[in-house]
């Protein structure tokens, strides 16, 4: 079974960030990538995990 992934441009669009911002996150190791057919690809699950980690933690208490 092949891992599902998207191009770096598509990943940036889905995250709502610039490609430059995405490239920095990839370079820092915050978003893992893999190679498929000679192209760098981001696993769709990695996008979800990155979004969860980037959510601000609220100080709101009930």
User: What are the extents of the domains in the chain?
Assistant: 5-54
The CATH T-level fold of domain 5-54 is Multidrug-efflux Transporter Regulator; Chain: A; Domain 2 (1.10.1660)
pLDDT digits (tens, 9 = 90+) for 14-29: 999 999 999 999 999 9
Which 3-state string (H, E, C) describes 16-61?
CCCHHHHHHHHHCCCCCEEEECCEEEEEHHHHHHHHHHHCCCCCCC
- Give every residue of the chain whose pLDDT is below 50, as ranges: none
So what's the pLDDT on residue 1? Answer: 58
């Amino acid at each position: 079974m092949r891992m599902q992934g998207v191009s770096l441009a598509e990943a940036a669009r889905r995250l709502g960030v610039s490609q430059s911002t995405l490239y920095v996150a990839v370079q820092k190791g915050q978003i893992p990538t893999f190679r498929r057919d000679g192209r760098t690809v981001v696993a769709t699950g990695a996008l979800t995990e990155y979004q969860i980690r980037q959510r601000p933690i609220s100080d709101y208490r009930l």
